[in-house]
Amino acid sequence: MIATLHQSLGVFAFTTLLEIAVIVRILLRRHRDPAARIAWIVVVIALPLLGLFGYLLLGEVNIGRARARRLQAVLEGMPKITWQTGRDEAASAGTIPDRYRHLFELGHSISGFPPVSGNVGSVLPDSNAAINAMIADIESATKHVHVLFYIWLPDHNGIKMAEALKRASARGVICRVIADDLGSRRIIRSKQWREMHMAGVRLVAGLPIGNLLLGQLQGRIDLRNHRKIVIVDDRVTYCGSQNCADPEFRVKAKYAPWIDLMIRFEGPIVRQNQFLFASDWMTHADEDLGELLSKPLPSTISHGFPAQAIGTGPTVRYSAMPETFESLMFAARSEIIATTPYYVPDESLHNALCTTAYRGVNATIIFPARNDSWFVGSASRSYYADLLDAGVKVYEYKGGLLHTKSMTVDGEVTLIGSANMDRRSFDLNYENNILFYDCALTWAVRECQQNYVSKSSLITKETVASWPIQLRLWNNLIATLGPVL
């Protein structure tokens, strides 16, 4: 009995030392906000063994030392961004009003890309229109096609894309494809992937998972490449929320249709997306795209607008994405409209949105009424009361899962891309967005946003007050776990 007691005390002492070590690590880790530190400490203490394993699996933002070294070497070896100085930058800055210039300065500090003028763009209103436009551009390609998707399904649109790439490769067009190894696992393990490879399409599974247990030793497996980029001949690029899939999204059909928004751009902004794609490509594939990136910029369009690509991720400056959202909110003088399927903000972003409404700006945010993530849906609704008290108009879209990630400011500036307003996009995912100043294109995006509003229910204070107390308790409980996940 004494031996058993000694053994139990030994296990207790060992577990306690482990807990203390992990708590010290939580307190010492850089860039962890206080709410996240407190949440993880509570989890480790309340669930001694599960909490320890949970932190080891989910507590560190780590893509693995080997991947980090490789990415750093790729970035250091890339050609210098030739448009950072000279007439192009001065011309771009001159077309941006002073009240918005700081937004592009912030973007420059994140990715190193200044705003470049001479761009044009058009809104593709839905998933099928976006895929069809991409395929039409691929069919006209003569030099290269670059494709990056987080989710690529072997459904109707997914197979159409694969067939277009095979045809382009057969014409001698160099086709490079990155598909995230988790989000696109269905296409990567399909016959379409094998057929593309046999047709000469160069394929990469982004952030490969490998063995689920051993993979954790190489880096956190839920750090994903969430970007959506298509580039054709250094001439055309696409940016927005669209994955390569049907709007029926059969893997989660009960939430369908998926409602997305993509913009087709032409002009020098294409080259900035090339740099983002190339950084991902050269990190995974043993191929140097430096020569392509060093070619003269595409000719600008005299009546085109200034735009800037903003790429974020776990190896980019901490808090870059929420900084971008917050700066846009504080720049608004009369109106801001945002759409996001996932709203699990940090404190500063949530306060920025509330403050924007408190200072008299007409602030609107649109969420899906039915969220494919019960966790995120519950957490999002825990913030409704604060938003409504501040005067933010909150809508829930009823026509499917609103997947569009967009923000328009005063009918003049737009941010479009892959990033959500949640901690996963802030800390864990590689994201791509484009910021631009153009009234006409911004109003085209705004019309899409207003169309979402017309198909949404307005959430009021009375709506939230009518929720049963157990629902409000559940939503708030889930929200407290937001900093942990």
Residues involved in catalysis: 226, 228, 233, 403, 405, 410
CA atoms of 345 and 331, how far apart (whole Å): 19
Helix (H, G, I), strand (E, B) or coil at 353: helix
CA atoms of 176 and 141, how far apart (whole Å): 13
Helix (H, G, I), strand (E, B) or coil at 8: helix
Half-sphere exposure (Cβ direction) of 377: Cα atoms closer than 13 Å: 14
Is the distance from CB of 52 to CB of 21 less than 8 angstroms?
no
CA atoms of 90 and 116, how far apart (whole Å): 9
The helix-helix angle for 347-358 and 320-331 (nearest 10°) equals 0
Helix (H, G, I), strand (E, B) or coil at 415: strand
Is the distance from CB of 356 to CB of 384 less than 8 angstroms?
no
Is the distance from CB of 153 to CB of 185 less than 8 angstroms?
no
Helix (H, G, I), strand (E, B) or coil at 303: coil
CA atoms of 397 and 449, how far apart (whole Å): 11
What is the full DSSP assignment across 206-268? Answer: ES---SHHHHHHHS-TT--B---EEEETTTEEEEES--BS-TT-GGGGGGPPEE--EEEEEST
CA atoms of 151 and 180, how far apart (whole Å): 7
CA atoms of 55 and 40, how far apart (whole Å): 7
Is the distance from CB of 63 to CB of 216 less than 8 angstroms?
no
Is the distance from CB of 121 to CB of 441 less than 8 angstroms?
yes
Nearest 5°: CA angle at 318, between 313 and 321? 60
